[in-house]
Chain A
Amino acid sequence: DQQVKQNSPSLSVQEGRISILNCDYTNSMFDYFLWYKKYPAEGPTFLISISSIKDKNEDGRFTVFLNKSAKHLSLHIVPSQPGDSAVYFCAAMAGDYKLSFGAGTTVTVRA
């Protein structure tokens, strides 16, 4: 039973516009959340994280929002660039070192 869900398998966005990726979780014990980005034939790379004591974290063009009551987080990319075309994974951690990942969302940025 997947505890982290990314219900949109793909997202297409025009260059310069905002990309919004969504993630839902079911385990109320999760207290740390991360986003990873993955290009084909490479390993995932860490993008941004947020602790459950916060509701927003920003790093340059990337912002993660956390809504604990709704068990929902989102990643905003503004503005989207061609190099952002990749698979994005949402991940969560609950009191130990194990990460639970969502299935991923493939983002395509159109010129």
Chain B
Amino acid sequence: DAGITQSPRHKVTETGTPVTLRCHQTENHRYMYWYRQDPGHGLRLIHYSYGVKDTDKGEVSDGYSVSRSKTEDFLLTLESATSSQTSVYFCAISDQGRRATQYFGPGTRLTVL
């Protein structure tokens, strides 16, 4: 299994509060991704990173920001959480090459009340 951890694994928060989710990898892979999974939508890309300090938006980036100051860590921040951001969040990593397989972390279940 690819060495990917996500923290926290579960979080309950209130509307309007900031939330940061962390993804940590031990594989030294260049690419890192944040997805959210919702019923009826599958997984949707929020943001991704193609190197330290290099990030780009995905399909559903509104309300989210990311940072990557080290190869191994990719942070996802909800500046002011809303109930529509209640979801399961997955981090993924991949190595060089466009067709390199993306490996997923175990997920973080976030509930915004």
Interface residues of A (CB under 8 A from B): 2, 4, 6, 32, 34, 36, 41-46, 49, 51, 89, 91, 93, 95-104
- Given A41-B107, A43-B90, check contact A99 B102 (CB 8 Å): yes
Known A36-B104, A49-B101, A98-B58; further 7 A-B contacts with Cβ < 8 A: A32-B99, A41-B107, A43-B90, A96-B98, A97-B98, A98-B45, A101-B35
Q: Which 9 A-B pairs have the closest CB atoms?
A: A43-B104, A101-B42, A101-B43, A103-B42, A46-B101, A44-B104, A43-B106, A102-B42, A43-B105
Shortest distance between the CB of B46 and any CB in chain A (Å): 11
15 A/B residue pairs, CB under 8 Å, sorted by A: A2-B41, A6-B42, A34-B101, A41-B106, A43-B90, A51-B99, A89-B43, A91-B43, A93-B98, A95-B98, A97-B33, A97-B48, A99-B43, A101-B42, A104-B42
Shortest distance between the CB of A5 and any CB in chain B (Å): 10
The distance in angstroms between the C-alpha atoms of A42 and B99, with both chains bound, is 23
Q: Is B31 an interface residue (CB 8 A)?
A: yes
The distance in angstroms between the C-alpha atoms of A96 and B102, with both chains bound, is 13
Contact, CB under 8 Å: A99 / B45 = yes
**Per-residue CB proximity of B81-113 to A under 8 Å, as 1/0?**
000000000101010001101111111000000
Q: How large is the interface on B (under 10, 10 to 19, 20 to 34, 35 or more residues)?
A: 20 to 34
The distance in angstroms between the C-alpha atoms of A1 and B42, with both chains bound, is 13
The distance in angstroms between the C-alpha atoms of A96 and B59, with both chains bound, is 13
Shortest distance between the CB of B61 and any CB in chain A (Å): 12
Residue among A4, A6, A45 making CB contact with B104, cutoff 8 Å: A45
**Per-residue CB proximity of B3-38 to A under 8 Å, as 1/0?**
010000000000000000000000000010101000
The distance in angstroms between the C-alpha atoms of A46 and B45, with both chains bound, is 17
List, in ascending order, chain A residues with CB within 8 A of B94's CB.
Answer: 97
